[in-house]
Amino acid sequence: MPTDLPERLQHYIGGEHVDSADGATFEVLDPVSNETYLHAAAGKQADVDRAVAAARRAFEKGPWPQLLPRERSRVLHRVADIVESRDARLAELESFDSGLPITQALGQARRAAENFRFFADLVVAQTDDAYKVPGRQINYVNRKPIGVAGLITPWNTPFMLESWKLGPALATGNTVVLKPAEFTPLSASLWAGIFEEAGLPVGVFNLVHGIGEEAGDALVKHPDVPLVSFTGESRTGQLIFANAAPHLKGLSMELGGKSPAVVFADADLGAAIDATIFGVFSLNGERCTAGSRILVQREIYDEFVERYAAQASRVVVGPPHEPATEVGALVHPEHYEKVMGYIELGRTEARLVAGGGRPEGFPTGNYVAPTVFADVPPDARIFQEEIFGPVVAITPFDTDEEALALANGVRYGLAAYVWTNDLRRAHTFAQALDVGMVWLNSNNVRDLRTPFGGVKASGLGHEGGYRSIDFYTHQQAVHVTLGEAHHPTFGKGH
């Protein structure tokens, strides 16, 4: 257990750490022991109202929205410096709270700092269009922050995903209310001190802990929150869409995934196996872009399954804090039961070739052995439904057309991975995929300038690069007449 853990977590509203208005709390569990290690304030409508009021006051009367982009950028760079300097401590807390392997949690902490640096630089470099009619008119675009941004984040890689929303929301001059996932609130509680040290004005950042159905719901429905960015499961996204509709809020929602990895017979088999092992078992399999369906061409199918199952069996499961661990403990006993339920279902739908339950030597905790099912039919639930754990389904195909039908034959459309040495096939196949992002002969390695988002049940809208700037700003068109106004004249008779 990390040293100096708090006994309780409070909200952070208007620059103050406060309890819930009704004094309510909820328990936070350690995923290794499943024992309560702290209590967090359970926010409800009254707490969200107070946080939104503080954020709105800071937006309407505070300096933050009026600062030059360079001045906001300096604050965000200081945030990045602080995060970077504390990456080991952040990783320690994140690993303990979420069950992520410590080495992977460290990478997420460093990525959080990079997110702030990226948007701090981008907002300074931002340019907008001007349209000229020589001698007659000039038209230009004026970007304005929108107001209070409601940010609702998930429990997988929580600190990094919070930074992914906080960075652009703050860079563009908005104020925010963050509602972190109730399973993993620990690292979110560090933002208040980081922002204070970096010099963020009071009220610009506010944090309300709580259950999604209470605090999250109140934030989505609040009339003074004009935009909401949400990352989480698709069913919750549907509820948010419905609850935001009466207020016509701006929405950005990155939802679930059941991403295919398509391996053709001409692929570099060793590279494809390494990448697809990492793609589904890293972050404990609790990642939206996991390549959890592997489609393999028939000519190499048997060899692929044999080598993949053997390598998956060698993936190191262990305590999250140990550097050698590659798969740690799942985040919460509720989620553990869900994943184990899918594994039992999979035994009736396909051929189990690796894993299949609790690994040896771990009688307690939310540990799941990396699990591989082969010969998975496309109508199987383990093929169609998001499991969000260290479980993969492998399915054969014969032709490009069959591979495409299998890849697109689910309700999700977040990411896809294509492995082939045929350049023409790679590009044409990628363009035919119903997904928001495609990696060709690559693991999930992102350029922060590119759009991030999915189609179908995987999301609404895109963030990343200038798309994030677009989401968090109004684009106001200003038209200036340079010469005599040209318009029809009414009301003067003939």
Choose, from 92, 162, 288, 349, the residue flagged as catalytic.
Answer: 288
DSSP 103: H
* Token pair in block for residue 91: 């990783």
Paired with 395 in beta bridges are 295
Amino acid (1-letter code) at residue 124: V
213 is known as an active-site residue: no
Q: Three-state SS for 460?
A: strand
Q: Is the dihedral of CA 380, 385, 386, 387 positive or negative?
A: negative
Active-site residue (options: 92, 94, 162, 254): 254
**CA 186, CA 6: separation in Å to the nearest integer?**
9
The answer to whether residue 288 is catalytic is yes
Helix (H, G, I), strand (E, B) or coil at 415: strand
At 360, list the tokens.
């040896």
Alpha carbon distance 300, 307 (integer Å)? 11
The token pair at 256 is 């679930």
User: Residue 348: which residues within 8 A CB-CB, separation 6 or more?
Assistant: none
Sequence-distant (≥ 6) Cβ neighbours of residue 359 within 8 angstroms: 317, 367, 368, 369
Neighbours of 455 (CB within 10 A): 15
**Is the Cβ–Cβ distance between 147 and 493 less than 8 Å?**
no
| Helix or strand holding residue 167 (H, E) | helix 158-171
364 three-class SS: coil
Residues annotated as part of the active site: 254, 288
